[in-house]
Chain A
Amino acid sequence: MATRTGSNPKDLAFEKASAVFAFAVLALTVLLFAVLLRESMPALRKFGVRFLVSGTWDPVADQYGALPFIYGTLLSSFLAILIAVPLSVGAAIFINEFAPQWLKKPVSFLAELLAAIPSVIYGLWGIFVLVPILRDYLMKPVAKYLGWIPLFKGPVYGPSVLAAGWLLSIMIVPFILSVSREVMATVPQRQKEAVLSLGGTRWEMIRIVIGQHCIPGIFGATVLGLGRALGETMAVTMVIGNRPEVFLSLFQQGYSMAAVIANEFAEAGGLQLSSLILIGLLLFLVTLVVNLAAKWILTKMVARASRGI
């Protein structure tokens, strides 16, 4: 930005000083990865790839496998995406295209506030409000009449993968919503007006123009939301049930990668601690890849929009 003005020693000193702090941030990131890798080595050496596919988590026998946690994390995050994406995209279309001017700001402000609520408060609300509602009005009736479908098999406890997914969906909505709105705002106004001037209704305009332009961007927003959901800890820990098993039913109590770290880390030692850190390393790598993918998709999208295609 600023142009270099000769070689004033004070200027140079200031530049170098700020560079030192920038280097510190870079070094912290490298250090984070390095310590995760070092401390997870014992578990990695002992179990290898088996760690990913073994379902045993047995501190007594000192045998550890992460499959139930990986499964629970993926299943609850997938559910969250399934619920959150249609709602967020619908709400984004409402705010951008349909809402009267006076309503746009309040609605988007309230949606942003959802992101400010600490995750432990979502968890608290989940335990005492959301889980009982889901249990009595959704899971019990569904298990009673559709219980023969493996996905909805009882018994119904309340805390479950479904509850975790549902709570997660509420938490990731603000992120998907705001990115979707930004993506939709990149559509050139003249294209919208073209459809309307041909006699199209507002919905037809949305279907044609947004359908044409925004699908990759909305996909990027979805991936970003997924990155959030995968690493969410407190809310999931409080409602998922914390039982390390692999099963098909959404009503069963499950476990997640972040939740097992939260629950067992403080009292763990030796190989168990190393295994927990290995789960942390996996989570770190997965969220990194997911976030990079989201960023890549969204930058491509913006580049395309700025060329006016």
Chain B
Amino acid sequence: MGTIAFRRKAVDRAMKWAFSLCAFLVILPLFLVFFDLLIKGGKELRWTLLTDLPHPVGEPGGGIANGIAGTFVITLLTMAWSVPVAVMCGIYLAEYGRGKFASAVRFAVDTLTGVPSIIMGIFGYILIVLPMKRFSAWAGAAALSMIFIPVVVRTTEDMLRTVPTTVREAALALGIEQWKTTLYITVRTASAGILTGILLAMARIIGETAPLLFTTLGNQFWQTRLDQPMAAMPLQVFSYAISPYEDWHDKAWAGALVLITMVLLINIVARYLTREKR
């Protein structure tokens, strides 16, 4: 074997190892994060974490029950009005969306997708908190919906576009009205994909913290009124993490473990839905 050929082979092998190392380094943090979450969060994990209110500093025990409830309420509130808006907008773009107006809407959706989430918090603050003169769950939901809507519009449009035109034409040829075709045939065919998009967007807003900082603000106690500051899991993780107390740090890890479990479960369900349909 000539030395040149040998050198070329050696370089090839070295580069292969270098690229493998890159891939390893890319996924290494994932394992580190999960490892620490399980070790440090698992230590604090007990039933009272899910059922109790936060305790003051120094008092052992206590949980994040109000945060879990708050996240649940705020997420449902966001989705209650964002899902119809986003799905209908997606239907418009996929089924009728031609011309200048549709391009403008698509540009708007692209713009919203790229806006940092903290700015959606400012939006919720100016629109809801300032006029109402208090922090509230409403304001948080307003901020989160600005994150939720563009994601779902995009996936809805994309999913509807994967439905073959022949399916629509077959329905129309049977004499079914166009709006019925859209709702009962086209949207139905793409429903698994649309639902996946909704679930992924939901997983995303469950973990969002920045938009809630000065909209829902957080709360140490139970709160059932939507026009009052409300607790949320990510907010609790944040305030426990930056607090100076050791036992609060433990609670931050435990809260983070609960949070990531929810987010991952939703992610897995979402992926499973589309896999089955393929």
Contacts and interface: CB of A to CB of B under 8 A. Distances in A.
B58 interface: no
Number of contact residues on B: which range applies? 35 or more
A230 B21 CA distance: 27
A60 B116 CA distance: 29
A116 B213 contact: no
A149 interface: no
A23 to B, nearest CB: 8
A121 interface: yes
Contact of A22 (B8, B92, B116): B92
Nearest to A21: B88
Contacts of A26: 104-105, 108
A185 B190 CA distance: 26
A206 B92 CA distance: 43
Interface string A10-50: 11011101111111111011111001100100000000000
A111 B27 contact: yes
Contacts of A204: 8, 12
Given A29-B108, A266-B213, A21 B89 contact: yes
Given A127-B241, A202-B16, A284-B115, A121 B260 contact: yes
A119 B84 CA distance: 27
Contacts of B114: 227, 231, 287-288, 290-291
B23 A234 contact: no
A118 B112 contact: no
Interface stretch (B28-36, B49-57, B219-227): B28-36
A124 interface: yes
Contact of A25 (B85, B118, B125): B85
Interface string A106-121: 0100110110111111
A233 interface: yes
A170 interface: yes
Contacts of B33: 117, 121-122, 125
Contact of B213 (A5, A173, A265): A265
B20 A94 contact: yes
A279 to B, nearest CB: 10
Contact of A231 (B93, B95, B116, B203): B116
A12 to B, nearest CB: 9
A282 B16 CA distance: 43
B217 A266 contact: yes
B26 A91 contact: yes
Interface residues of A, number: 89
A203 B18 CA distance: 11
Contacts of A291: 110-111, 113-114
A107 B23 contact: yes
A262 interface: yes
B94 interface: yes
A309 interface: no
A283 B119 contact: yes
Contacts of B264: 113, 116
A98 interface: yes
A22 B156 CA distance: 13
A265 B207 CA distance: 20
B102 to A, nearest CB: 7
Interface string B84-102: 1110110111111100011
B9 interface: yes
Contacts of A125: 32-33, 36-37
Interface string B174-212: 000111011100100000000000000001001111100
A234 B236 CA distance: 13
B141 interface: no
Nearest to A13: B179
B177 A8 contact: yes
Nearest to A258: B118
Contacts of B9: 201
B253 interface: yes
Interface of B: 8-9, 11-12, 15-16, 18-23, 25-27, 29-30, 32-33, 36-37, 40, 84-86, 88-89, 91-97, 101-102, 104-105, 108-123, 125-127, 135, 146, 149-150, 153, 160-161, 165, 168-169, 172, 177-179, 181-183, 186, 203, 206-210, 213-214, 217, 234, 237-238, 241-242, 249, 252-253, 256, 259-260, 263-264, 267
Top-4 shortest CB links A-B: A231-B116, A118-B207, A90-B22, A14-B179
Given A117-B263, A203-B15, 20 more contacts: A2-B165, A18-B88, A20-B88, A22-B93, A25-B149, A29-B112, A86-B22, A90-B23, A91-B26, A98-B16, A98-B19, A118-B209, A118-B234, A125-B33, A127-B242, A231-B118, A238-B241, A261-B121, A265-B125, A277-B122
